Amino acid sequence: MNRILSKRAAELKPSATLAISAKEKELKSQGVDVIGFGAGEPDFPTPSRIREAAKRSLDKGETFYTPVGGTLELRKAIVHRFAEDYGLMYKVENIVVSCGAKHSLYNIFQAVVDPGDEIICLAPYWVSYPEMVALAGGRPVTIETSESRGFEPEIESISDRISPATKAIILNYPSNPTGVMYSRKFLEKLADLIERKDLLVISDEIYDKLLFDDGRYTPFATIPGMKSRTVTVNGVSKTYAMTGFRIGYLAADSMEIVKATTNIQSQSTSNPSSTAQAAAAEALIGPQTEVIEMRNIFERRRDLMVELVNQVPGLSLVTPQGAFYVFVNISYFLGSKGITGSSDFAAYLLENHYVACVPGGPFGSDEHIRLSFATKEDVIIEGMKRIKTACEELNNA
Ligand SMILES: Cc1ncc(COP(=O)(O)O)c(C=O)c1O
């Protein structure tokens, strides 16, 4: 057999973020003292009320298949959160639960993208969007944003790229990797464009509860006229420190999308884990105090990280308004010691100074690296000390 892999599998790139965590773990297992700024997950343990709910579910014998799109208990809890937090009214029929928000997104792209369809991704974007679109046979159309505008796109730069093949736009705010939170004014202008061009919106709102500076979150579906056009994606991974449970979900007014994504899931994974669903239901329905506590800690870490990055000559950033990453501009160092892009810079940091970060290339900018501040303050201080030394070394090269 001269060609084992399908074209789509052969062309697929592995997740850059997961690859760097693997390398970091490998070095740690060899006893190297690595500072990990690569992680895309909270370092907190899952709150105990949630862990207890998982145990109770097991003890009750809830170990069987559940409905493909999630238990009634969990879907009711999701409906409750949308209503309580944002006044967004969904019925349980509008919710599909999957094995992580990543899986929800995968199902959505499989459900709505035909070969040749164009999906707009705003760069810098989360690494998986273009790959998932391509895997579904679609064409990701990336639109650059500038640091001088805080990574908020200009509406004209989006409208200029809409073609008869454009099907949808994917939004993610606060964003991974930049932490940008779009202004209400921008969201309203975008809604107007979406309406005029008759597009679908996939809004990945996984960091909605990790918003700083007393910011108020605006789900895209709450912008007048947008609920029927929006598929909202969220999950429990980031908000409740539950990355390993693998529970994400979508909410859509369109029953076509609900049915199609459920069918796709029914032919692939079936339902997400019953135990994880019970834990997620408790997470969403119970008291939300830990969410605020974790958010406040992340905000303090953000302040520290931003302050330390700003103390390194040659590095610059746009202060993130949410999520737990800083997207640091390293263009000043390109050309030094044979470093030609973000992967070289990240490799230099890891190999010479034992700091793991994620190169910006796979996020759509080769002039940046992503540092996660989902780690303790003393780790942030030590890691930034090493980065400062590395940058001084490059400056003197
Ligand atoms: C923007 C964004 N969307 C989705 C996900 C996936 O989350 P989950 O762990 O629920 O699959 C992540 C995780 O890194 C993310 O950063």
Q: What is the pLDDT of residues 238-277, one digit of tens each?
A: 999 999 999 999 999 999 999 999 999 999 999 999 999 9
Which ligand 1 atom sits nearest the alpha carbon of residue 105?
4
Q: Residue 17 — very low, low, confident or very high, per pLDDT cuts 50/70/90?
A: low
* Alpha carbon nearest to ligand 1 atom 7, residue: 101
203 CA distance to ligand 1 centroid (A)? 12
Ligand 1 contact via 172 beta carbon (within 6 Å): yes
- Whether cis (ω within 30° of 0) applies to the bond prior to 124 is yes
| Index of the ligand 1 atom closest to the CA of residue 235 | 10
CA 164 to ligand 1 center in whole angstroms: 30
**Residue that is last in its domain, among 270, 285, 300:** 285
Kindly give the distance from the C-alpha atom of residue 267 to the centroid of ligand 1, in angstroms, as a whole number.
Answer: 22
DSSP per position, 87-134: -----GGGEEEESSHHHHHHHHHHHH--TT-EEEEESS--THHHHHHH
Which ligand 1 atom lies nearest to the CA of residue 99? Answer: 11
Q: Residue 40: CB within 6 Å of ligand 1?
A: yes
Q: Return the number of other C-beta atoms located less than 10 Å from residue 160's C-beta.
A: 10
Nearest Cα residue to atom 14 of ligand 1: 40
Closest Cα to residue 307, out of 381, 393, 390, 212? 381
Q: For residues 208 and 296, state if they share a domain.
A: no
pLDDT at 14 over 90: no
Q: Ligand 1 center to residue 206 CA distance, Å? A: 7
What dihedral do alpha carbons 172, 38, 129, 362 form, nearest 10°? Answer: 120
Ligand 1 in reach of 102 Cβ (< 6 A):
yes
Residues 275 and 190 in one domain: yes
- Pocket perturbation via mutation, ligand 1, pick of 206, 207, 209, 232 by most ligand atoms within 8 A of CB: 206
**CA of residue 336 to ligand 1 center, whole Å:** 34
Query: Do 239 and 273 belong together in one domain?
Result: yes
- Round to whole Å and give the CA distance between 180 and 187: 13
Residue 2 lies in a domain: no
Report the DSSP pairing between strands 118-122 and 139-143. parallel
CATH number at 182 reads 3.40.640.10
Domain contains 357: yes
Q: Is the CB of 272 under 6 A from ligand 1?
A: no
Residue 21 has pLDDT above 80, yes or no: no
- Number of domains comprising the chain: 2
Domain of residue 385: give its range.
7-45+290-396
Mean pLDDT of 302-306: 98
Alpha-carbon distance 316 to 99, whole Å?
36
Asked whether residue 140 falls in the same domain as residue 249, the answer is: yes
- Does residue 237's CB lie within 6 angstroms of at least one atom of ligand 1? yes
pLDDT at position 25 over 90:
no
Whole-number Å distance, alpha carbon 49 to ligand 1 midpoint, is 23
**In a shared domain, residues 86 and 196:** yes
Is 113 a residue whose pLDDT tops 90?
Answer: yes
* Co-location of 352 and 231 in the same domain: no
Same domain, 272 and 304: no
Same-domain pairing of 18 and 76? no
Q: Which of 184-188, 256-260, 333-337 has the lowest mean pLDDT?
A: 333-337
Tell whether ligand 1 has an atom less than 6 A from the beta carbon of residue 126. yes
174 lines ligand 1 (CB under 6 A): no
The confidence band for 16, taking pLDDT boundaries of 50, 70 and 90, is: low
Distance of CA 151 from the midpoint of ligand 1 (Å): 20
Residues 125 and 151 in one domain: yes
Q: Specify the pLDDT at position 12.
A: 83
Q: Is 100 in the pocket of ligand 1 (CB under 6 A)?
A: yes
Query: Is the CB of 248 within 6 Å of ligand 1?
Result: yes
Helix axes 101-112, 255-266, angle to 10 degrees: 110
What distance in Å separates the CA atoms of residue 339 and residue 349, rounded to the nearest whole number? 11
| Alpha-carbon span 317 to 382, nearest angstrom | 19
Cα 217 to Cα 52: distance, rounded to the nearest angstrom: 30
Residue 1: what pLDDT? 75
Question: Ligand 1 mean position to 258 CA, how many Å?
Answer: 20
Q: What is the pLDDT of residues 84-107, one digit of tens each?
A: 999 999 999 999 999 999 999 999
Average pLDDT over residues 51-69: 98
**Any domain includes 344:** yes
Average pLDDT over residues 186-210: 98
3-state secondary structure of 62: coil
Q: Has residue 54 been placed in a domain?
A: no
CATH number (domain holding residue 340): 3.90.1150.10
Q: Is 235 in the pocket of ligand 1 (CB under 6 A)?
A: yes
Q: Do the domain assignments include residue 58?
A: no
Query: Is the pLDDT assigned to residue 186 strictly greater than 70?
Result: yes
Q: Could you tell me if residue 125 is inside a domain? A: yes
Give yes or no: residues 248 and 304 share one domain.
no
pLDDT score at 3: 85
Decide if 75 contacts 95 (C-beta within 8 A).
yes
Ligand 1 atom nearest residue 104's Cα: 11
Average pLDDT, the chain: 96
Residues 269, 147 share a domain: yes
- pLDDT above 90 coverage of the chain, percent: 91
Predicted TM-score (pTM) of the model is 0.96
